[in-house]
Structures are given as structure tokens and as C-alpha cells.
């Protein structure tokens, strides 16, 4: 049902199913922090799991998806991580919380905006600078861009803000300095999570190395900006082919230290363009609605 955010049973009819998923995740070493119903139709749910180091966290994402699919099947249901499975309803994101530590110290903790350090702000600057190239990884499906549209609480504007869910980069409140972090909200779970995490880290490190300041924070509702103000804020890409083109043109930051290579990037772009071409060449049901009787 379309039951809103955090409803209780019986409106939330999937609590038992989610609980079974969470128990399985715990048994497989993935720490669960929260699970609840979300705002969209058809049983949209959220399971929040604990942070970890980059590769381990990526592995745990794969475990989570495996568990969700299989537990849903055992209940006679099916689960999808599609970014936008339903027209006219909120999509499915994968908000990625990020921080850097050295010697047990959180490098993002400071006395700047949102309790962040200058290092953290430069990291945000790198994410914003390279966001459209990152979209090729963080939003690596044609369906991803059905979600990244104005409305439906989608993070389309490349701005940052503290405790502001309308910003594509949010700074969650945390009184504990060890918990200071940034949350990048435009990725989705259709992505290759290893490429997604690695590319965001490389963008952030590039921002730190080049002291890329993200500009002023946007402490306002970005979903309701006047057009003359909105046009001055950069946006995410609005199609997969646009993102792949951005990646092709802005790739040097990914190749630092040999993390990505031209061969890998070229192969990825070619593979994903096949998906773009397949959809582009397929007659769409909406086209029948628009053109059949003309």
C-alpha cells in the first residue's frame, strides 16, 4: 500500500518480511541499523545497514541484494531495486554516506559548516565538480534517469546542505565528531557498487588535492526554488548517454594511481551504450498512446 513514511502495522504490511530479511543479513555478518516502510506504492521499503570500509561495504551491498531477493521469493513475493519501477511515484535511491579516517581520526570532523572540516568541504567540492561523470557509475541504467527528474523528492540539483533532504549532498547531523560524514543522495542500487564507491572516492580525493571548494551551502527547500534561482545551480545528468559522454570527457581524475584505466572506462562506456541503443531502438508502449491513431 501507499502508506507514507514510517507507518505502523497494519498499514505497514511488510514488517514481518523485512524482519526476516534483517535476521538473515545479521546472520551473514551485515549489521542492520533500521528498517521501515517508505513513501511510495507497492510496498516500497528501506533497510539501513551500518558503514564499513569501501570494499567490505560494497561486498555487503551484494549480500543485501541477494538476501532481499531470496527472502522475498520464499514469501511468494518479488523484490526490485529498479530506480523507477512505477510511473508517477517516488523512485528507489541508494544514499551513500562517506567519510575519511586516518589513524582512527575522522578527517571530516571540524568546526566548519555542518560540523565539517575543510577537508570534508573540499571532498564535497570534488563530488560536485565530477558529478556528471560520476552519474555514469552511480546511475548506471537507462531507468535511473526516470528517477532523476524534478519532483518525487529526487536529488537533481548539485548543491550541499546540512540536514536538508532536498540537496543532492546532505550533511547529516551527528553530535559525535566520529560520526561526521557526507551523504551523496543521487546514486541508486542499479549501479555497479564497486565502480560507484571507487569513483566517488576518487572524485572526493581529487577535490581535496586541488582544494576544490563547493561554494556556499543551500539552506533552503531546493524542490521549491523560483526558476530564475534554480537555473544557476548545476544539475545531474538526465540520461545515461549524457552521463557516459560526461565520463568520456572527464576521466583523468579516475585514472590517478591506476585505480581506473582507459581500457576499463572505454569498455564500460561501450557496454552501457549498448543498453542505451537497445532502448532507443525499441518501440515503447507510450508511443502507441501518443501516435497510434495519428
Last residue of a domain, one of 45, 79, 113: 79
Last residue of a domain, one of 79, 113, 130: 79
241 and 123 part of one domain:
yes
As for how many domains the chain has, the answer is 2
175 and 268 part of one domain:
yes
pLDDT of 3 reads 54
179 and 235 part of one domain:
yes
Question: What is the residue range of 276's domain?
Answer: 94-287
- Give me the residues paired with residue 106 across strands: 101
145 and 235 part of one domain:
yes
- Give me the residues paired with residue 116 across strands: 109
114 and 235 part of one domain:
yes
Question: CATH number, domain at 64?
Answer: 3.30.590.10
pLDDT of 2 reads 57
Within a domain: residue 293? no
Q: What sign does the dihedral 109-115-119-125 (CA atoms) show?
A: positive
Last residue of a domain, one of 25, 52, 79: 79
Mean pLDDT by 10 residues, the chain (294 residues): 64 89 98 88 88 98 98 97 92 96 97 96 98 99 95 87 87 94 97 98 99 93 86 95 99 98 99 98 94 94
DSSP string, 28-75: TT--EEEEEE-SSTTT-EEEEE----HHHHHHHHHHHHHHHHHHHHHT
Express each pLDDT in 227-255 by its tens digit.
888 889 999 999 999 999 999 999 999 99
Q: Count CA within 13 A, CB hemisphere, residue 262.
A: 2
12 and 157 part of one domain:
no
Q: pTM of the entire structure? A: 0.94
Amino acid at each position: 500500500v501507499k502508506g507514507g513514511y514510517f507507518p505502523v502495522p497494519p498499514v505497514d504490511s511488510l514488517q514481518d518480511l523485512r524482519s526476516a530479511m534483517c535476521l538473515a543479513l545479521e546472520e551473514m555478518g551485515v549489521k542492520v541499523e533500521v528498517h521501515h516502510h517508505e513513501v511510495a506504492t507497492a510496498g516500497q521499503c528501506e533497510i539501513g545497514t551500518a558503514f564499513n570500509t569501501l570494499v567490505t561495504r560494497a561486498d555487503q551491498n551484494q549480500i543485501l541484494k541477494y538476501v532481499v531477493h531470496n527472502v522475498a521469493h520464499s514469501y511468494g513475493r518479488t523484490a526490485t531495486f529498479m530506480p523507477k519501477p512505477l510511473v508517477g511515484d517516488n523512485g528507489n535511491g541508494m544514499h551513500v554516506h562517506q567519510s575519511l579516517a586516518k589513524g582512527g581520526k575522522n578527517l571530516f570532523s571540524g568546526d566548519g559548516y555542518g560540523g565539517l572540516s575543510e577537508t570534508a568541504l573540499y571532498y564535497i567540492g570534488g563530488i560536485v565538480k565530477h558529478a556528471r561523470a560520476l552519474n555514469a557509475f552511480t546511475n548506471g541504467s537507462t531507468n535511473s534517469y526516470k528517477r532523476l527528474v524534478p519532483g518525487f523528492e529526487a536529488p537533481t540539483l548539485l548543491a550541499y546542505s546540512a540536514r536538508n533532504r532536498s540537496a543532492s549532498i546532505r550533511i547529516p547531523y551527528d553530535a559525535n565528531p566520529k560520526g561526521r560524514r557526507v551523504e551523496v543522495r543521487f546514486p541508486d542500487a542499479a549501479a555497479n557498487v564497486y565502480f560507484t564507491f571507487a569513483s566517488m572516492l576518487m572524485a572526493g580525493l581529487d577535490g581535496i588535492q586541488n582544494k576544490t571548494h563547493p561554494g556556499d551551502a543551500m539552506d533552503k527547500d531546493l524542490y521549491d526554488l523560483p526558476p530564475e534561482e534554480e537555473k544557476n545551480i548545476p544539475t545531474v545528468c538526465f540520461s545515461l548517454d549524457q552521463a557516459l559522454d560526461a565520463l568520456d570527457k572527464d576521466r583523468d581524475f579516475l585514472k590517478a594511481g591506476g585505480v581506473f584505466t582507459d581500457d576499463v572506462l572505454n569498455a564500460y562506456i561501450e557496454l552501457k551504450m549498448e543498453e542505451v541503443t537497445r532502448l532507443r531502438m525499441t518501440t515503447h508502449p507510450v508511443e502507441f498512446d501518443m501516435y497510434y491513431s495519428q
